[in-house]
Amino acid sequence: MATFFEGESHTFSEYLLVPGYSSTQNVPQNVTLRAPLVRYARGEQSAITLNIPMVSAIMQSVSGPRLAVALAQQGGISFIYGSQTPEDEADMVREVKASKAGFVVSVANLTPNMTLAEVMDLKEKSGYSTMPVTDDGTSHGKLLGIVTSRDWRPSRDPLDKLVADFMTPRERLVVARDEVTLSECNDIIWEHKLNALPIVDDNNHLVSIVFRKDYDSHKSNPLELLDEHKRYLVGAGINTRDFAQRVPLLVDAGADVLCIDSSEGYSEWQKITIDWIREHYGNDVKVGAGNVVDGEGFRYLADCGAEFVKVGIGGGSICITREQKGIGRGQASALIDVCAERDRYFEETGIYVPVCSDGGIVYDYHMTIALAMGADFLMLGRYFARFDESPTRRLNVNGNYVKEYWGEGSARARNWQRYDLGGKKGLTFVEGVDSYVPYAGSLKDGVEGSLNKVRHTMCNCGALDLDELREKAKITLVSATSLVEGGAHDVILKDSTESNFR
Protein backbone atom coordinates (compact mmCIF):
# COMPACT_ATOMS: atom_id res chain seq x y z
CA MET A 1 0.00 0.00 0.00
CA ALA A 2 1.18 3.55 -0.73
CA THR A 3 2.75 5.64 2.04
CA PHE A 4 0.51 8.47 3.19
CA PHE A 5 1.89 11.55 4.91
CA GLU A 6 -0.13 12.76 7.85
CA GLY A 7 -1.80 16.15 7.57
CA GLU A 8 -1.97 18.51 4.66
CA SER A 9 0.79 19.85 2.45
CA HIS A 10 1.32 23.52 3.35
CA THR A 11 2.87 26.59 1.72
CA PHE A 12 4.59 29.60 3.28
CA SER A 13 1.48 31.77 3.00
CA GLU A 14 -0.27 29.53 5.52
CA TYR A 15 2.12 30.45 8.34
CA LEU A 16 2.93 33.49 10.44
CA LEU A 17 5.68 34.22 12.93
CA VAL A 18 4.64 35.03 16.49
CA PRO A 19 6.75 37.83 18.07
CA GLY A 20 9.15 36.93 20.84
CA TYR A 21 10.93 38.98 23.48
CA SER A 22 13.25 41.56 21.94
CA SER A 23 15.86 43.45 23.93
CA THR A 24 17.38 46.85 23.22
CA GLN A 25 20.08 45.01 21.24
CA ASN A 26 17.52 43.73 18.76
CA VAL A 27 17.89 46.45 16.18
CA PRO A 28 18.32 45.78 12.43
CA GLN A 29 21.90 47.08 12.23
CA ASN A 30 22.97 44.41 14.71
CA VAL A 31 21.54 41.55 12.64
CA THR A 32 23.86 39.34 10.60
CA LEU A 33 22.52 37.16 7.79
CA ARG A 34 25.64 35.04 7.21
CA ALA A 35 24.89 31.46 6.22
CA PRO A 36 26.92 28.34 5.34
CA LEU A 37 26.81 27.33 1.69
CA VAL A 38 28.60 23.96 1.84
CA ARG A 39 28.90 21.10 4.33
CA TYR A 40 31.22 21.16 7.31
CA ALA A 41 32.09 18.98 10.30
CA ARG A 42 31.13 19.76 13.89
CA GLY A 43 33.51 22.31 15.36
CA GLU A 44 34.57 23.57 11.93
CA GLN A 45 33.32 26.29 9.61
CA SER A 46 31.89 26.05 6.12
CA ALA A 47 34.48 26.52 3.36
CA ILE A 48 32.12 29.02 1.74
CA THR A 49 29.93 31.33 3.80
CA LEU A 50 27.32 33.60 2.25
CA ASN A 51 26.96 37.11 3.64
CA ILE A 52 23.27 37.07 2.76
CA PRO A 53 21.17 33.88 2.48
CA MET A 54 20.25 34.36 -1.18
CA VAL A 55 21.36 32.56 -4.34
CA SER A 56 19.96 32.91 -7.84
CA ALA A 57 18.25 30.07 -9.68
CA ILE A 58 19.97 28.03 -12.39
CA MET A 59 17.85 29.51 -15.17
CA GLN A 60 18.37 31.08 -18.59
CA SER A 61 16.12 33.99 -17.67
CA VAL A 62 17.85 34.68 -14.35
CA SER A 63 21.52 33.85 -13.86
CA GLY A 64 23.80 35.51 -16.38
CA PRO A 65 27.19 37.17 -15.68
CA ARG A 66 25.76 40.63 -15.00
CA LEU A 67 23.37 39.38 -12.34
CA ALA A 68 26.09 37.15 -10.87
CA VAL A 69 28.33 40.17 -10.29
CA ALA A 70 25.48 42.27 -8.89
CA LEU A 71 24.41 39.54 -6.45
CA ALA A 72 27.99 38.84 -5.31
CA GLN A 73 28.35 42.55 -4.59
CA GLN A 74 25.43 42.23 -2.18
CA GLY A 75 26.85 39.12 -0.49
CA GLY A 76 25.04 36.28 -2.28
CA ILE A 77 26.00 33.98 -5.13
CA SER A 78 24.58 33.12 -8.56
CA PHE A 79 24.57 29.78 -10.29
CA ILE A 80 25.20 30.37 -13.99
CA TYR A 81 22.65 28.38 -15.98
CA GLY A 82 23.78 25.08 -17.48
CA SER A 83 21.26 24.83 -20.34
CA GLN A 84 23.87 26.00 -22.84
CA THR A 85 27.06 24.51 -24.21
CA PRO A 86 29.76 23.75 -21.63
CA GLU A 87 32.05 26.19 -23.43
CA ASP A 88 29.54 29.06 -23.27
CA GLU A 89 28.80 28.43 -19.60
CA ALA A 90 32.52 28.39 -18.81
CA ASP A 91 32.91 31.70 -20.65
CA MET A 92 30.20 33.22 -18.44
CA VAL A 93 31.92 31.96 -15.31
CA ARG A 94 35.21 33.34 -16.58
CA GLU A 95 33.59 36.72 -17.21
CA VAL A 96 32.35 36.91 -13.61
CA LYS A 97 35.73 35.92 -12.20
CA ALA A 98 37.37 38.60 -14.33
CA SER A 99 35.01 41.22 -12.88
CA LYS A 100 36.62 41.07 -9.49
CA ALA A 101 36.91 43.84 -6.97
CA GLY A 102 40.63 44.46 -7.33
CA PHE A 103 43.05 43.27 -10.01
CA VAL A 104 41.03 42.52 -13.14
CA VAL A 105 42.39 40.34 -15.93
CA SER A 106 41.25 42.05 -19.11
CA VAL A 107 38.94 39.99 -21.32
CA ALA A 108 38.47 42.69 -24.00
CA ASN A 109 41.79 43.42 -25.72
CA LEU A 110 42.86 45.07 -28.97
CA THR A 111 45.76 45.13 -31.39
CA PRO A 112 47.05 48.32 -33.06
CA ASN A 113 45.86 47.27 -36.53
CA MET A 114 42.24 46.68 -35.52
CA THR A 115 39.66 49.16 -36.80
CA LEU A 116 37.19 51.40 -34.99
CA ALA A 117 34.40 49.19 -36.32
CA GLU A 118 36.00 46.20 -34.57
CA VAL A 119 36.42 48.24 -31.37
CA MET A 120 32.73 49.18 -31.39
CA ASP A 121 31.73 45.57 -32.03
CA LEU A 122 33.91 44.29 -29.15
CA LYS A 123 32.49 46.97 -26.84
CA GLU A 124 28.95 45.89 -27.76
CA LYS A 125 29.69 42.20 -27.18
CA SER A 126 31.75 42.52 -24.00
CA GLY A 127 30.18 45.57 -22.36
CA TYR A 128 33.65 46.99 -21.63
CA SER A 129 34.59 50.52 -22.69
CA THR A 130 38.21 50.38 -21.44
CA MET A 131 40.28 48.07 -23.64
CA PRO A 132 44.07 47.56 -23.45
CA VAL A 133 46.06 47.40 -26.69
CA THR A 134 48.65 44.62 -26.70
CA ASP A 135 51.01 43.36 -29.37
CA ASP A 136 49.12 40.09 -29.78
CA GLY A 137 45.65 41.12 -28.61
CA THR A 138 45.77 38.84 -25.55
CA SER A 139 45.23 39.54 -21.86
CA HIS A 140 48.96 39.29 -21.10
CA GLY A 141 50.61 40.56 -24.26
CA LYS A 142 53.05 43.46 -24.36
CA LEU A 143 51.18 46.65 -23.44
CA LEU A 144 51.20 49.18 -26.30
CA GLY A 145 48.41 51.49 -25.21
CA ILE A 146 44.82 51.72 -24.09
CA VAL A 147 41.50 52.72 -25.65
CA THR A 148 38.53 54.17 -23.78
CA SER A 149 35.21 55.53 -24.99
CA ARG A 150 36.71 59.03 -24.77
CA ASP A 151 39.20 58.25 -27.53
CA TRP A 152 36.74 57.93 -30.39
CA ARG A 153 33.49 59.36 -31.67
CA PRO A 154 31.52 57.24 -34.17
CA SER A 155 29.81 60.36 -35.53
CA ARG A 156 33.13 61.88 -36.60
CA ASP A 157 35.71 59.11 -36.89
CA PRO A 158 35.68 56.76 -39.91
CA LEU A 159 34.94 53.14 -39.07
CA ASP A 160 38.14 52.00 -40.77
CA LYS A 161 40.32 54.19 -38.56
CA LEU A 162 43.06 52.09 -36.96
CA VAL A 163 43.44 51.66 -33.20
CA ALA A 164 47.05 52.83 -33.48
CA ASP A 165 45.78 56.24 -34.62
CA PHE A 166 43.47 56.97 -31.66
CA MET A 167 44.73 54.92 -28.70
CA THR A 168 46.56 56.49 -25.77
CA PRO A 169 50.10 55.11 -26.28
CA ARG A 170 52.08 53.33 -23.59
CA GLU A 171 54.50 56.21 -23.01
CA ARG A 172 51.62 58.47 -21.95
CA LEU A 173 50.07 55.94 -19.58
CA VAL A 174 50.44 55.80 -15.82
CA VAL A 175 51.13 52.16 -14.94
CA ALA A 176 52.17 50.16 -11.86
CA ARG A 177 54.39 47.11 -11.45
CA ASP A 178 52.85 43.77 -10.53
CA GLU A 179 54.28 43.75 -7.00
CA VAL A 180 52.06 46.72 -6.07
CA THR A 181 49.30 46.29 -3.49
CA LEU A 182 45.66 47.14 -4.09
CA SER A 183 45.84 49.92 -1.53
CA GLU A 184 48.84 51.44 -3.36
CA CYS A 185 46.97 51.16 -6.65
CA ASN A 186 44.06 53.11 -5.23
CA ASP A 187 46.44 55.83 -4.04
CA ILE A 188 47.91 56.10 -7.55
CA ILE A 189 44.43 56.24 -9.09
CA TRP A 190 43.39 59.10 -6.82
CA GLU A 191 46.68 60.97 -7.16
CA HIS A 192 46.60 60.93 -10.98
CA LYS A 193 42.79 61.17 -11.33
CA LEU A 194 42.63 57.90 -13.29
CA ASN A 195 39.68 55.68 -14.12
CA ALA A 196 41.92 52.68 -14.81
CA LEU A 197 45.45 51.70 -13.83
CA PRO A 198 47.22 49.03 -15.94
CA ILE A 199 49.47 46.63 -14.02
CA VAL A 200 52.53 45.37 -15.93
CA ASP A 201 55.46 43.05 -15.22
CA ASP A 202 59.17 43.83 -15.66
CA ASN A 203 58.93 43.07 -19.39
CA ASN A 204 55.99 45.48 -19.86
CA HIS A 205 53.51 42.63 -20.36
CA LEU A 206 50.01 43.39 -19.16
CA VAL A 207 49.12 41.56 -15.96
CA SER A 208 45.81 43.14 -14.94
CA ILE A 209 43.93 46.41 -14.53
CA VAL A 210 42.67 48.14 -11.41
CA PHE A 211 39.54 50.26 -11.91
CA ARG A 212 38.40 53.24 -9.87
CA LYS A 213 34.83 51.92 -10.06
CA ASP A 214 35.85 48.70 -8.28
CA TYR A 215 37.22 50.71 -5.37
CA ASP A 216 34.02 52.77 -5.21
CA SER A 217 31.93 49.60 -5.51
CA HIS A 218 33.77 47.93 -2.65
CA LYS A 219 33.18 50.92 -0.39
CA SER A 220 29.44 50.95 -1.17
CA ASN A 221 29.05 47.15 -0.93
CA PRO A 222 30.68 46.07 2.34
CA LEU A 223 29.07 42.60 2.19
CA GLU A 224 30.39 41.67 -1.26
CA LEU A 225 31.38 38.01 -1.58
CA LEU A 226 34.98 37.62 -2.69
CA ASP A 227 37.54 34.85 -2.98
CA GLU A 228 41.10 35.05 -1.68
CA HIS A 229 42.16 36.88 -4.86
CA LYS A 230 39.46 39.54 -4.41
CA ARG A 231 37.37 38.11 -7.26
CA TYR A 232 33.61 37.66 -7.04
CA LEU A 233 32.38 34.20 -6.08
CA VAL A 234 30.19 32.46 -8.66
CA GLY A 235 28.51 29.08 -8.96
CA ALA A 236 27.50 27.05 -12.00
CA GLY A 237 24.80 24.51 -12.80
CA ILE A 238 25.57 21.07 -14.17
CA ASN A 239 23.44 18.12 -15.27
CA THR A 240 23.68 14.36 -14.94
CA ARG A 241 24.35 13.77 -18.64
CA ASP A 242 27.46 15.66 -19.77
CA PHE A 243 29.18 16.29 -16.43
CA ALA A 244 32.41 14.64 -17.58
CA GLN A 245 32.77 17.28 -20.31
CA ARG A 246 31.22 20.23 -18.46
CA VAL A 247 32.78 20.04 -15.00
CA PRO A 248 36.45 20.30 -16.13
CA LEU A 249 35.68 23.41 -18.17
CA LEU A 250 33.81 25.07 -15.29
CA VAL A 251 36.55 24.25 -12.80
CA ASP A 252 39.18 25.61 -15.17
CA ALA A 253 37.11 28.79 -15.61
CA GLY A 254 37.15 29.31 -11.83
CA ALA A 255 33.67 28.27 -10.67
CA ASP A 256 33.65 28.29 -6.86
CA VAL A 257 30.78 25.83 -6.43
CA LEU A 258 28.65 23.62 -8.66
CA CYS A 259 25.07 22.44 -8.34
CA ILE A 260 23.30 19.57 -10.07
CA ASP A 261 20.26 21.10 -11.73
CA SER A 262 17.41 18.58 -11.66
CA SER A 263 13.69 18.71 -11.10
CA GLU A 264 13.88 15.59 -8.90
CA GLY A 265 17.08 14.67 -7.10
CA TYR A 266 16.33 11.45 -5.23
CA SER A 267 18.03 9.53 -8.02
CA GLU A 268 21.00 7.30 -8.76
CA TRP A 269 21.92 9.72 -11.56
CA GLN A 270 22.92 12.28 -8.94
CA LYS A 271 25.04 9.74 -7.09
CA ILE A 272 26.84 8.83 -10.31
CA THR A 273 27.56 12.50 -10.97
CA ILE A 274 28.85 13.20 -7.45
CA ASP A 275 30.93 10.01 -7.45
CA TRP A 276 32.61 11.04 -10.73
CA ILE A 277 33.46 14.48 -9.32
CA ARG A 278 34.88 12.97 -6.12
CA GLU A 279 36.93 10.43 -8.13
CA HIS A 280 38.49 13.12 -10.31
CA TYR A 281 38.68 16.11 -7.92
CA GLY A 282 38.36 14.72 -4.40
CA ASN A 283 36.76 17.27 -2.09
CA ASP A 284 38.28 20.26 -3.88
CA VAL A 285 35.23 20.77 -6.07
CA LYS A 286 32.08 21.63 -4.14
CA VAL A 287 28.82 20.34 -5.62
CA GLY A 288 25.26 20.68 -4.29
CA ALA A 289 22.39 18.41 -5.29
CA GLY A 290 18.61 18.20 -5.36
CA ASN A 291 15.74 18.70 -5.51
CA VAL A 292 14.00 16.66 -2.81
CA VAL A 293 10.86 17.11 -0.70
CA ASP A 294 11.29 14.77 2.26
CA GLY A 295 13.85 13.61 4.80
CA GLU A 296 14.49 10.35 2.98
CA GLY A 297 15.60 12.18 -0.15
CA PHE A 298 17.80 14.50 1.90
CA ARG A 299 19.59 11.65 3.64
CA TYR A 300 20.25 9.89 0.36
CA LEU A 301 21.95 12.94 -1.16
CA ALA A 302 23.81 13.75 2.07
CA ASP A 303 25.19 10.20 2.12
CA CYS A 304 26.20 10.65 -1.54
CA GLY A 305 28.38 13.57 -0.50
CA ALA A 306 26.27 16.54 -1.62
CA GLU A 307 27.66 19.82 -0.23
CA PHE A 308 24.14 21.19 0.16
CA VAL A 309 20.68 19.89 -0.67
CA LYS A 310 17.97 21.82 -2.48
CA VAL A 311 14.36 21.43 -1.41
CA GLY A 312 11.34 21.99 -3.62
CA ILE A 313 9.41 20.36 -6.46
CA GLY A 314 6.70 22.21 -8.35
CA GLY A 315 6.60 25.32 -6.17
CA GLY A 316 8.22 27.76 -8.58
CA SER A 317 6.03 30.45 -10.11
CA ILE A 318 6.72 29.20 -13.65
CA CYS A 319 6.76 25.49 -12.76
CA ILE A 320 3.82 23.24 -13.72
CA THR A 321 5.37 19.91 -12.68
CA ARG A 322 2.63 19.26 -10.13
CA GLU A 323 -0.23 19.71 -12.58
CA GLN A 324 1.59 17.84 -15.33
CA LYS A 325 2.84 14.87 -13.29
CA GLY A 326 1.04 15.04 -9.96
CA ILE A 327 4.34 15.02 -8.09
CA GLY A 328 5.67 17.45 -5.50
CA ARG A 329 4.82 18.79 -2.07
CA GLY A 330 3.88 22.09 -0.48
CA GLN A 331 7.14 24.02 0.00
CA ALA A 332 6.68 24.70 3.71
CA SER A 333 5.87 21.07 4.54
CA ALA A 334 8.79 19.84 2.46
CA LEU A 335 11.20 22.28 4.08
CA ILE A 336 10.13 21.43 7.64
CA ASP A 337 10.57 17.72 6.97
CA VAL A 338 13.98 18.07 5.30
CA CYS A 339 15.39 20.46 7.92
CA ALA A 340 14.38 18.08 10.70
CA GLU A 341 16.27 15.30 8.91
CA ARG A 342 19.28 17.59 8.41
CA ASP A 343 19.43 18.17 12.18
CA ARG A 344 19.15 14.43 12.88
CA TYR A 345 21.87 13.77 10.34
CA PHE A 346 24.12 16.31 12.05
CA GLU A 347 23.54 14.72 15.47
CA GLU A 348 24.29 11.25 14.13
CA THR A 349 27.27 11.98 11.88
CA GLY A 350 28.70 15.31 13.03
CA ILE A 351 28.38 16.57 9.45
CA TYR A 352 26.20 19.60 8.78
CA VAL A 353 24.74 19.67 5.26
CA PRO A 354 23.07 23.05 4.52
CA VAL A 355 19.55 23.12 3.14
CA CYS A 356 18.53 25.42 0.29
CA SER A 357 14.84 26.26 -0.06
CA ASP A 358 14.16 26.48 -3.80
CA GLY A 359 10.77 27.88 -4.84
CA GLY A 360 7.57 29.06 -3.23
CA ILE A 361 8.77 32.56 -2.28
CA VAL A 362 6.11 35.07 -3.34
CA TYR A 363 6.34 37.84 -0.74
CA ASP A 364 9.33 39.13 1.16
CA TYR A 365 8.02 37.79 4.47
CA HIS A 366 8.12 34.29 2.98
CA MET A 367 11.92 34.59 3.10
CA THR A 368 11.87 35.03 6.86
CA ILE A 369 9.34 32.20 7.25
CA ALA A 370 11.56 29.85 5.24
CA LEU A 371 14.68 30.81 7.21
CA ALA A 372 12.84 30.36 10.50
CA MET A 373 11.66 26.92 9.39
CA GLY A 374 15.29 25.89 8.97
CA ALA A 375 16.50 26.86 5.50
CA ASP A 376 20.13 27.92 5.50
CA PHE A 377 19.67 29.92 2.31
CA LEU A 378 17.13 30.53 -0.44
CA MET A 379 17.30 29.96 -4.20
CA LEU A 380 15.20 32.53 -6.04
CA GLY A 381 14.17 32.75 -9.68
CA ARG A 382 11.17 35.03 -10.19
CA TYR A 383 12.51 37.39 -7.55
CA PHE A 384 15.78 38.05 -9.44
CA ALA A 385 14.24 37.90 -12.92
CA ARG A 386 12.52 41.24 -12.22
CA PHE A 387 15.71 43.26 -11.92
CA ASP A 388 17.76 45.24 -14.45
CA GLU A 389 20.63 42.79 -14.17
CA SER A 390 18.74 39.67 -15.29
CA PRO A 391 19.53 38.58 -18.88
CA THR A 392 16.03 39.12 -20.27
CA ARG A 393 14.41 42.01 -22.10
CA ARG A 394 12.48 44.77 -20.38
CA LEU A 395 9.23 45.39 -22.23
CA ASN A 396 6.24 47.72 -22.00
CA VAL A 397 3.10 45.60 -21.96
CA ASN A 398 -0.23 47.43 -21.68
CA GLY A 399 1.46 50.44 -20.16
CA ASN A 400 3.41 48.48 -17.53
CA TYR A 401 7.10 47.65 -17.59
CA VAL A 402 7.81 43.92 -17.30
CA LYS A 403 10.70 41.52 -17.71
CA GLU A 404 10.53 38.22 -19.55
CA TYR A 405 10.69 35.10 -17.40
CA TRP A 406 10.49 31.48 -18.50
CA GLY A 407 11.01 28.12 -16.87
CA GLU A 408 13.75 25.66 -17.73
CA GLY A 409 11.04 23.12 -18.51
CA SER A 410 9.21 25.46 -20.89
CA ALA A 411 9.12 25.03 -24.65
CA ARG A 412 11.34 28.10 -24.90
CA ALA A 413 14.18 26.75 -22.76
CA ARG A 414 13.76 23.05 -23.55
CA ASN A 415 16.26 22.10 -20.86
CA TRP A 416 15.55 18.39 -21.17
CA GLN A 417 18.63 17.45 -19.13
CA ARG A 418 17.01 18.96 -16.02
CA TYR A 419 14.08 16.55 -16.34
CA ASP A 420 16.07 13.60 -17.62
CA LEU A 421 15.17 10.13 -16.38
CA GLY A 422 17.47 8.28 -18.75
CA GLY A 423 16.60 6.75 -22.08
CA LYS A 424 15.70 8.90 -25.08
CA LYS A 425 17.07 12.43 -25.04
CA GLY A 426 14.62 15.30 -25.34
CA LEU A 427 11.76 17.13 -23.63
CA THR A 428 8.65 15.04 -24.22
CA PHE A 429 6.28 17.47 -22.49
CA VAL A 430 6.68 20.85 -20.86
CA GLU A 431 6.97 21.39 -17.11
CA GLY A 432 7.29 25.17 -17.21
CA VAL A 433 5.73 28.25 -18.77
CA ASP A 434 6.85 31.39 -20.62
CA SER A 435 5.73 34.56 -18.84
CA TYR A 436 6.35 38.13 -17.69
CA VAL A 437 7.13 39.47 -14.22
CA PRO A 438 6.72 43.09 -13.06
CA TYR A 439 9.92 45.11 -13.58
CA ALA A 440 11.50 46.04 -10.23
CA GLY A 441 14.54 48.23 -10.98
CA SER A 442 18.05 47.50 -9.72
CA LEU A 443 19.04 44.36 -7.83
CA LYS A 444 20.86 46.34 -5.17
CA ASP A 445 17.78 48.38 -4.25
CA GLY A 446 15.50 45.35 -4.34
CA VAL A 447 17.72 43.10 -2.23
CA GLU A 448 18.40 45.81 0.33
CA GLY A 449 14.67 46.47 0.67
CA SER A 450 13.76 42.80 1.06
CA LEU A 451 16.50 42.02 3.57
CA ASN A 452 15.64 45.12 5.57
CA LYS A 453 12.24 43.51 6.17
CA VAL A 454 13.91 40.22 7.11
CA ARG A 455 16.16 41.94 9.65
CA HIS A 456 13.24 43.83 11.20
CA THR A 457 11.20 40.64 11.54
CA MET A 458 14.15 38.83 13.10
CA CYS A 459 14.36 41.61 15.69
CA ASN A 460 10.66 41.09 16.44
CA CYS A 461 11.54 37.45 17.14
CA GLY A 462 14.47 38.40 19.38
CA ALA A 463 17.08 37.01 16.96
CA LEU A 464 20.31 38.57 15.75
CA ASP A 465 21.46 35.77 13.44
CA LEU A 466 19.90 32.89 11.54
CA ASP A 467 20.82 30.22 14.09
CA GLU A 468 19.12 32.25 16.79
CA LEU A 469 16.09 32.79 14.55
CA ARG A 470 15.64 29.03 14.11
CA GLU A 471 16.04 28.50 17.84
CA LYS A 472 13.65 31.22 18.97
CA ALA A 473 11.10 31.33 16.15
CA LYS A 474 7.49 30.66 17.08
CA ILE A 475 5.41 29.77 14.05
CA THR A 476 1.64 29.44 13.79
CA LEU A 477 -0.55 27.93 11.09
CA VAL A 478 -3.26 30.37 10.00
CA SER A 479 -6.76 29.88 8.62
CA ALA A 480 -8.12 31.22 5.34
CA THR A 481 -10.01 33.87 7.29
CA SER A 482 -6.81 34.93 9.04
CA LEU A 483 -5.18 35.43 5.65
CA VAL A 484 -7.93 37.88 4.71
CA GLU A 485 -7.58 39.63 8.05
CA GLY A 486 -3.83 40.01 7.51
CA GLY A 487 -4.23 42.35 4.55
CA ALA A 488 -6.09 45.61 4.09
CA HIS A 489 -9.81 44.98 4.50
CA ASP A 490 -13.10 46.76 5.16
CA VAL A 491 -11.72 50.03 3.81
CA ILE A 492 -11.71 51.85 0.50
CA LEU A 493 -8.10 52.06 -0.64
CA LYS A 494 -6.68 55.20 -2.19
CA ASP A 495 -4.71 54.88 -5.43
CA SER A 496 -1.24 53.49 -4.78
CA THR A 497 1.79 52.99 -6.99
CA GLU A 498 3.45 50.60 -4.58
CA SER A 499 4.18 47.26 -6.23
CA ASN A 500 2.39 44.17 -4.95
CA PHE A 501 5.49 42.17 -5.73
CA ARG A 502 7.89 43.68 -3.23
Residue that wins the pLDDT comparison between 115 and 217: 115
Within a 10 A sphere around the Cβ of 138, how many other Cβ atoms?
A: 14
The whole-number average pLDDT for the span 444-453 is 96
Among the ranges given (211-220, 245-254, 383-392, 430-439), the one the predictor scored with the smallest mean pLDDT:
211-220
The whole-number average pLDDT for the span 279-291 is 96
pLDDT for position 230:
79
pLDDT for position 216:
67
Summarize pLDDT for 377-410 with one digit per residue, the tens: 999 999 999 999 999 989 999 999 999 988 777 7
Nearest to 286 by CA among 20, 57, 15, 40: 40
At residue 206 the predicted structure's pLDDT band, cuts being 50, 70 and 90, is very high
Residue that wins the pLDDT comparison between 500 and 357: 357
> Per-residue b/e over 277-298, b at no fewer than 16 CB within 10 Å?
beeeeeeebbbbbbbbbbbebb
Report the run of H or E that residue 264 belongs to, with start and end: none
Summarize pLDDT for 239-262 with one digit per residue, the tens: 999 999 999 999 999 999 999 998
At residue 98 the predicted structure's pLDDT band, cuts being 50, 70 and 90, is confident
pLDDT for position 501:
45
pLDDT for position 218:
65
pLDDT for position 499:
47
The whole-number average pLDDT for the span 101-105 is 71
Distance CA 468, CA 108 (A): 46
Given the residues 259, 304, 319, 459, the one annotated as active site: 319
- pLDDT(199) > 70: yes
Summarize pLDDT for 61-81 with one digit per residue, the tens: 999 999 999 999 999 999 999
pLDDT for position 408:
78
The whole-number average pLDDT for the span 212-231 is 80
The whole-number average pLDDT for the span 417-443 is 77
The whole-number average pLDDT for the span 92-109 is 82
The whole-number average pLDDT for the span 56-62 is 94
- pLDDT(203) > 60: yes
The whole-number average pLDDT for the span 461-489 is 91
Given the residues 356, 418, 459, 461, the one annotated as active site: 418
pLDDT for position 96:
93
Report the run of H or E that residue 481 belongs to, with start and end: helix 480-486
Residue that wins the pLDDT comparison between 446 and 126: 446
- pLDDT(226) > 50: yes
Distance CA 86, CA 252 (A): 12
Active site residue 418: yes
- pLDDT(35) > 50: yes
pLDDT for position 366:
97
Within a 10 A sphere around the Cβ of 390, how many other Cβ atoms?
A: 27
Q: 290 by DSSP, 3-state: which? A: strand
Active site residue 185: no
Mean pLDDT estimate for the chain:
90
Distance CA 432, CA 409 (A): 4
For residue 256, the 8-state DSSP code is S
pLDDT for position 491:
85
The whole-number average pLDDT for the span 212-240 is 85
Give, in order, the Cα–Cα distances in Å from 482 to each of 336, 368, 410, 474, 478: 22, 19, 35, 17, 6
At residue 93 the predicted structure's pLDDT band, cuts being 50, 70 and 90, is very high
